């Protein structure tokens, strides 16, 4: 039981740290975001960080549930997809906010969205709960992809 709890903590903290490092390398995200021309339905900058903390926790929980799954078939593909989406997630902020490469970041976001869909499909065979953990992430990235392209067009 303690081993499972430790694995869960490592998964969640690891993903949260990945997000924090991405933000660190991206620079002063709130300041940069405040200066951009925003598309319709753009959120206030002060809530985005809180949303990501929750999403990163769910992403970490999904990883734990995949690791903990007794089903062996499909785990390798799930791990690869998880790694790809985490790398895409990590580099998006750095490229968008840190480098001001809005169009490149927008296509990264679109690729991330596709990877999340594939991850949900693969996770579902291992753990329905893991797939469900990715649904809010999917919804947010649909919205974030809209924002990314909107910001790219307007800036």
**pLDDT value at residue 73:** 87
Structural domain including 90 reads 2-154
Query: What domain count does the chain have?
Result: 1
φ/ψ (deg, to 5) at 74: 95, -5
pLDDT tens digits for 66-82?
999 998 888 999 999 99
* Per-residue pLDDT, 93: 96
Residue 139: count of CB within 10 angstroms of its CB? 12
Task: Decide if pLDDT at 126 tops 80.
Answer: yes
Q: Is the dihedral of CA 100, 102, 103, 106 positive or negative?
A: positive
Residue 2, pLDDT above cutoff 90: no
CATH for 110? 1.20.1260.100
- Tell me the per-residue pLDDT of 21-39, one tens digit each, with 9 for 90 and over: 999 999 999 999 999 999 9
pLDDT single digits (tens) 49-107: 999 999 999 999 999 999 999 988 889 999 999 999 999 999 999 999 999 999 999 99
Listed residue (74, 103, 110) closest to 89, CA to CA? 110
């Amino acid at each position: 039981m303690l081993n499972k709890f430790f694995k869960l903590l490592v998964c969640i903290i690891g993903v949260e740290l990945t997000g924090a490092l991405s933000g660190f390398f991206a620079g002063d995200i709130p300041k940069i975001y405040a200066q951009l021309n925003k598309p319709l339905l753009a959120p206030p900058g002060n809530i985005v960080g809180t949303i990501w903390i929750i999403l990163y926790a769910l992403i970490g929980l999904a990883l734990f549930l995949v690791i903990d799954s007794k089903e062996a078939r499909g785990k390798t593909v799930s791990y690869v997809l998880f790694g790809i989406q985490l790398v895409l997630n990590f580099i998006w902020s750095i490229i968008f906010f840190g480098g001001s490469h809005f169009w490149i970041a927008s296509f990264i976001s679109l690729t991330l969205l596709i990877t999340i869909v594939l991850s949900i499909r693969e996770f579902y065979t291992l753990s329905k709960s893991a797939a469900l953990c990715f649904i809010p992430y999917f919804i947010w990235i649909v919205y974030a992809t809209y924002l990314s392209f909107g910001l790219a067009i307007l800036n």
